[in-house]
Every structure is written in structure tokens, then in C-alpha cells.
Amino acid sequence: MRYGDFLSLCQRSPLPVCRLFGDVVLPTCHLNPYEAGDAYFVNLPDFVISIIALLVTLYLGFRAHRRLDAVEIALLLTLFSVCLVLNIAGADFIYVSTVKANRIMADGSFASILSIVVSTAIVFIGFGFMAADTAFGISSGLKPKPSDPFYSPGLFTMYLVFPLVALVVYITAQSIIVVKYLAVRLPLIWLFSSLVCFAVAQVLLFVASKKICTGSNGKIDGAFFATLLDSAAVFCIYGFWTSITEDDTEEYEGGFKY
């Protein structure tokens, strides 16, 4: 597979980004619709798990307000809730990756919030324009050539490579800060559990989706497991956050050390 070529990826995996190239390339294994009266659900398992994940996310957001410095985790849960709502609605959505490179800044401080908002806006606007330009040829600079309609190295970098770089930076920065400045180890279990969930989700989505679809006779594919494990990864990040923050109903006595 060439760097920047989406053809083989779109044939193997039900990626939302593939719709930017039109309906000329679809996964080689199609899901069979579920019938409920006059209604048809193309991917009912993913629909159901998205609703459950959304309810859990809303509950965690409610729980988060009991703790100090809850602004950043609230932003994360809000963004993830938006992604789940769009997934439930059947719409394509953009993965927004933000890197909080320095947790030494007070969580919830103006500088901390500004860094998240600005980085998120830059990624969202940049990726949004790149996606629109790829699909509609706004500037005629990113739209694939007719001779190579699925080749888009810029979109490939932004959609697949950048999130991995952001993830590595985040995991590395958080590990150093937790070990060096907080001198604790238990939060790392949450952090690396999140990493494992995310990694397995990508393997099932990009590598095993076709086999899952074929083996289940078109009843389920890798998207279901990706939603399930991506949700678990976010919930583990919540667990990581609770293990390094204070509960405002209790007096902090260094109880997070392990």
C-alpha cells in the first residue's frame, strides 16, 4: 500500500473518510440491514453500543463536576459525546486530537483552556478544509487526480498519522509528569489500559473488519468493536484523570500514591 492511498483501506474498512471519495469505493463485505417493521438499520450493533457509550459518557460528565479542576475532562467528554451523537445519526465525523503537552499548568486555568481550545480549533479547521477540498476541489490543490482518485497524502497524514503522533506525545508527556512530578504509579495502569484499548480498536477496524464481516455473514464489522474499544479508551482516560485529581468533597491527603 502506498503512503496516501485510501483504496485498499476503504475496501477493507468502513471508514467515514472514504465517503469523501464518493461511492465508487466501498468495503468488499457489506453489512446486511436489520429490519424492524418498515425501518431498516444498516449497522444496528454499532448504533446500540453508541447509545450505551453516550449514556455512560454523560454519566461520567455528571460525576466529574464533583472533582476539582474538571474543565479539561469536561471538554474531552463533550467532544466525545458529539462524536457519538454523529455516529448514532449515521453522519461522518472528524476525529479531533488535542495534545495537552504540559500538565504543570493548572487544570482549568485560562492558559490551559486556551491551549486546548486553540489546538482543537486549528486541527478542526485544518482537517475540515482538507476534507472539503479533497471532496469538492475548493482550491483544486488537494482533490485527487482523475488518474489516481484515491491518492491523498495530505488527508492520509492528517487522518491517520497525526492522531498517532498526538497519541505518542500525550502518553509520553503524561507518563513523565505522573512518575516524575506526582511520584505515583497507579494512574499509569489507567493510561496504558486506554492505549491498549485504542490499539486493539484500530487493529480490528483496519485489519480485521473484513474478516469479522465475512465471518458473521454481514451482521457485524470492525466498526462495532472500534466504537466499543474507543469508548473504553476514553473511559480509561477518565479513570486516569480521577486518579490524579482531588475530590472536592474530601480533603486531599496524598491518597493517590501506590
pTM surpassing 0.85?
A: no
Over the stretch 31-88, which tens digit does the pLDDT of each residue have? 887 776 666 677 788 889 999 999 999 999 888 876 656 777 888 888 888 888 878 7
How many domains does one find in the chain? 1
- Asked if 244 and 66 count as a contact pair (C-beta separation under 8 A), the reply is no
Average pLDDT across the chain, whole number: 78
Sign of the CA dihedral running 154, 210, 8, 91:
negative
For residues 204-232, give the mean pLDDT.
Answer: 91
For 204, half-sphere exposure in the C-beta direction (CA atoms, 13 angstrom radius) is 19
Give the per-residue pLDDT at 219. Answer: 86
Query: CA dihedral in degrees (141, 143, 145, 150; nearest 10)?
Result: 140
Q: Which residue type sits at 188?
A: L
Residue 168 in any domain: the answer is yes
143-174 burial, b at 16+ Cβ within 10 Å, e below that, comes to: bbeeeeebbbeebbebbbebbeebbeebbeeb
The pLDDT value given to residue 90: 63
The answer to whether residue 120 scores a pLDDT higher than 80 is no
Q: What are the Cα distances from residue 168, in Å, to 100, 120, 136, 180, 227?
A: 12, 17, 32, 18, 21
More confident: 98 or 58: 58
CB 108, CB 70: distance < 8 Å: yes
Higher-scoring residue by pLDDT: 57, 136: 57
pLDDT of residue 95: 44
Q: What is the pLDDT at residue 61?
A: 87
Residue 136 lies inside a defined structural domain of this protein: yes
Domain coverage including residue 197: 7-29+47-243
Q: Please, which residues bridge with residue 39 across strands?
A: 36
Instruction: Answer whether residue 249 is part of any domain.
Output: no
56 occurs within a structural domain: yes
Secondary structure element (H or E) that encloses residue 41, with its range: strand 39-41
Residue 1 lies in a domain: no
Domain-embedded: residue 20: yes
- The pLDDT confidence band at residue 129, using thresholds 50, 70 and 90, is confident
Which position has the higher pLDDT, 34 or 107? Answer: 34
In a domain, 157, yes or no: yes
Q: Give the pLDDT confidence score for residue 146 in this predicted structure.
A: 73
In a domain, 125, yes or no: yes
Please check whether residue 173 is in contact with residue 98, taking contact to mean a CB–CB distance below 8 angstroms. no
Q: Tell me, what's the pLDDT at 254?
A: 44
What pLDDT, on the 0 to 100 scale, is given for residue 238?
92
Residue 196 confidence class, pLDDT cut points 50, 70, 90? very high
47 burial via Cβ count (<10 Å: 0-12, 13-18, 19+): middle
Q: What is the pLDDT of residues 145-156, one digit of tens each?
A: 777 778 888 888
Return the pLDDT at 201.
Answer: 93
